Amino acid sequence: MMSRLLILPLAWLLPTGLAMALAIGQPLEFSSEAQRRQYDSLVRELRCTVCQSETIHESNAELAADMRRRVYDMTLAGHDADAIVDFMVQRYGDYVRYRPPLQANTLLLWASPALLLLGGGVVWWRVVAGRRGGVGRAEFTAAERAMLDRLRQGEDAGRPQ
Amino acid sequence: MKLRLLIPLVATAALLGLLFLGLGQNSRDLPSPLVGKPAPPFALEALEDAEVILTEQDFIGEVALVNVWATWCSTCRSEKPLLMELARGGIPIHAFNYRDERDAALRYLSVSDNPYRTIAYDPVGDAGIDWGVYATPETYVLDAEGVIRYKRIGPLTRQLLLDEVLPLIERLRAETPRAERRARQAKRIAPS
């Protein structure tokens, strides 16, 4: 909080694009609305590689601040979103992307929801089919009927009147 | 029927096994896409002298280590004795002084050993992003042509040096004469 208070007034003095880390929520100037949109979406798509479960948009880590600044500088310099993501991937690997690309080593990751659904479906179908098989046999066989009759009679006979 | 009872047992055991393997993994051990790529270019002031501008060319020439450190990083301090040993053993170590203050870094080096041959001063982590630095300390191995051949995120340990880094350096040094021969041939072929 202290550092943000210190940086905020400075941000107005320094020209944009100067080498400094960007604090979270620091007001930024863009030359077009498209650039602002690109920056806003990119910082929510890139992972802070030290904090690992945060995007660089929400992370307070210094590395995230550096990465925000780099995204900002590259956006101002006119690089498009793909170029900036490629730049980060070349340095930090695919891990830096919150949305992993579909490629050979991420195939299983992408397919896993479908595979889980399929597996669950198979189990569900087998359980239901098994249950239906048991319920469907509503008729007693002749031998069972005879046994039931005997039981009933035996009960009646055995019960004191 | 008995086999069907075993299915949940086997599934649970498999899941536990996976979780156990996951425990042993360091989530910071990420593969670096920079291994196999040339050292990324940079231009930074030397730590000792702001007038001197260092570039990646100052790190290239022979098989060398590049260490990323800072005075605020206690792990860097604890790994320095190992770096000293390497430096005394004749392995050149270059460095980025990462997100540090020049005065603090110089004072620190003046009161303790300095294993570094060249130190580039990177106060805002500019070269840090280009070199894919996550957190200090980090150590790269460059071959004689300046290609990154290894990257360690986190401190070096004696075991790691013995198992991975030193054998790699030895192998790269053996490769170097061949690389020099190739370069000489290329020079001879190319019109001067």
Mutate to test the interface with A, among B29, B99, B121, B124 (most CBs of A within 10 A): B124
Find the closest chain A residue to B100 by CA distance: A62
B96-102 mean pLDDT:
93
Average predicted confidence (pLDDT) for chain B: 89
Which of B37, B99, B134 lies nearest to residue A49, judging by beta carbons? Answer: B134
Measured between beta carbons, the chain B residues lying within 8 angstroms of A70 are 129
CB of A1 within 8 Å of any CB in chain B?
no
Model confidence at A90: pLDDT above 80: yes
CB of A62 within 8 Å of any CB in chain B?
yes
A&B contacts, CB < 8 Å: 46
- CA-to-CA distance for B37 and B141, rounded, in angstroms? 12
Model confidence at A156: pLDDT above 90: no
Radius of gyration for chain A, computed over Cα atoms and rounded to the nearest angstrom = 33
CATH architecture of B32-182: 3-Layer(aba) Sandwich (3.40)
Residue A55, classed as helix, strand or coil, is strand
Per-residue pLDDT at B33:
84
Per-residue pLDDT at A13:
40
Task: Name the least confident of A20-24, B17-21, B26-30, B166-170.
Answer: B26-30
Model confidence at B131: pLDDT above 90: yes
Phi first, then psi: what are they for A15, rounded to 5°? -65, 150
Q: Which among A59, A62, A68, A109 has a CA at the least distance from the CA of A88?
A: A68
82-101 of A, contacting B, C-beta below 8 A: 89-95
A127-140 mean pLDDT:
74
- Could you tell me if residue B165 is left (phi over 0), alpha (psi between -120 and 50 degrees) or otherwise beta? alpha
- CA-to-CA distance for B142 and B64, rounded, in angstroms? 5
- Alpha-carbon distance values, B175 to B78, B164, B168, B172 (Å): 32, 17, 11, 5
Please write the tens of the pLDDT for every residue from B37-74.
999 999 999 999 999 999 999 999 999 999 999 999 99
Nearest CA distance, A6 vs chain B (angstrom): 16
pLDDT level of residue A14 (50, 70, 90 thresholds) = very low
What residue spans define the domains of chain B? 32-182
A58-87 mean pLDDT:
91
Please tell me the pTM assigned to this model.
0.71
Please write the tens of the pLDDT for every residue from B153-167.
889 999 999 999 999
The interface pTM score, or ipTM, of the predicted complex is: 0.73
Domain A2-96, what fold? Helicase, Ruva Protein; domain 3 (1.10.8)
Residue type at position B84 = M
Please list, in sequence order, all residues whose beta carbon lies within 8 angstroms of the beta carbon of residue B147, skipping any fewer than 6 positions away. Answer: B36, B37, B38, B39
Tell how far CA B176 is from the center of its chain: 19
CB of B124 within 8 Å of any CB in chain A?
yes
CB of A49 within 8 Å of any CB in chain B?
yes
β-pairing, B118-122 vs B53-55, is unpaired
Q: Which residue has the higher pLDDT, B181 or B119?
A: B119
Find the closest chain B residue to A68 by CA distance: B129
Q: Which residue has the higher pLDDT, B184 or B94?
A: B94
What residue spans define the domains of chain A? 2-96, 104-158
Per-residue pLDDT at A38:
93
CB contact under 8 A, B128 and A63: yes
Find the closest chain A residue to B37 by CA distance: A90
